[in-house]
Amino acid sequence: MTWTPPPPRAGHPYYMHDAIYAQPGALRLVTRGQGDLIAGAASRLRAMDRVLLSGIGTSWHATLVGELLLAHVARLGHRVRALHSFEFKGYWPDPDARTGVVVVSHRGSKRYSVEALAKARAGGGVGVAITGKGAEGLASADYVLRTVDQERSAAHTVSYTTALALLAALAAAIGDDDDIAHEMDAIPDQLALLLGQESWTELAARFADRRRYWFVGGGPNTATAYEAALKMSEANHATALGLNCEQFLHGPWAALEPDDVVFLIALPGPAYERGLAIARVAKEVGAPVVALVREDDRAIAPLAAETIAIPPVSELLSPILTVVPLQLFTYHLALRRGVNPDTMRGDQPAHGRARAGLTL
């Protein structure tokens, strides 16, 4: 399935906007009718000596969250690892019959994700695909779990959070973790509240003219930082960096300037203290911090120019919630910059020619 830019909308709401706001409903429905498939995949993966997760771009970010979910919730520990599909195909040894591979790809058409699944199948192990409805590129997997209909925007949003939900459901099934499964039931309503929490237009206006946008998180929200920076590149074309919190503190912070802005994801967990160190660094440099923290936060919030309150949730599940305010900021910044967030600049001549020359 090859993606082509959709018929452009002339202005707000663009397709990306619709997809962002579709997420609570999509999360309520994503596992419906797939219980037997999830249970079957879980049973097979539980018996494997190792489980590899594979994806590209947004889907790779989902596998980074999935790695921790399967390590902890599924109790696979060091038996699980997330690999970029290109690296898995080109550089890693062939898997054997005792290796399960979970490939995440919404459109199911990316060359290296298809080849990653083929590599897994050739080894004789179990193959699981998490992919969008209508995508057939990964249909040869032993188990195919479906997210949502194909997004019309190139900046994937709802397909990301529903992939995370399926990874969480798979982890809960492998590990027999009813608590996580119950907590997942509450997330759609929490997300619906979060969508209406802030004036996203005003937030984008306040930070519209920054030199550089930094997104920083730790643990499972390292992936959130990576994903937010990717969405910025795709949708509004601003200069954005996504970094792990400790990596930020080991050199990159020296490039921080007062006319930058730091989006810091810092929820209770092992990464919180490093998030506090980042907020202090940014304050000394003079760069404003937009902090995604718990509502009762008392340490980072006073150092922030803006706070976005994240509902109480297990840190391992928090990326389903924390990414959404950053999607909204990205979208509204695109409006401020006067660009279409749906087309990945395919509607602009030079970038359209560049895209036409790419084989993905």
Of all residues in the chain, what percent carry a pLDDT higher than 90? 91
Q: Show me where the domains of the chain are located.
A: 15-186, 196-337
Whole-angstrom CA distances from 350 to 340, 345, 356 are 15, 9, 10
Q: What is the pLDDT of residues 144-160, one digit of tens each?
A: 999 999 999 999 999 99
Q: What is the pLDDT of residues 125-134, one digit of tens each?
A: 999 999 999 9
Answer for the pair 302, 283: CB distance below 8 angstroms, yes or no: no
Same fold, 15-186 and 196-337: yes
Q: Which residue has the tokens 């590149």?
A: 233
Task: Write down the mean pLDDT value for the chain.
Answer: 95
Q: What does the buried/exposed string (b/e) look like for 116-148 if buried means 16 or more CB atoms within 10 Å of the residue's CB?
A: bbebbbebebbbbbbbbeebebbeebbbbbbbb
Would the pLDDT of 2 be above 90?
Answer: no
pLDDT at 6: 64
What the block records as the tokens of 284 is 């000394």
Q: Which residue has the higher pLDDT, 207 or 352?
A: 207
* Tally of CB atoms within 10 A around 35: 11
Highest CATH level, class, for 196-337: alpha beta
Would the pLDDT of 1 be above 70?
Answer: no
Answer for the pair 308, 202: CB distance below 8 angstroms, yes or no: no
Regarding the domain with residue range 15-186, which homologous superfamily does it belong to in the CATH classification?
Glucose-6-phosphate isomerase like protein; domain 1 (3.40.50.10490)
Closest CA to 323 of 171, 155, 170: 155
pLDDT at 18: 97
- What is the value of pTM for the model shown? 0.96
In sequence order, which residues have a C-beta less than 8 Å from that of residue 118 and are 6 or more positions away?
Answer: 140
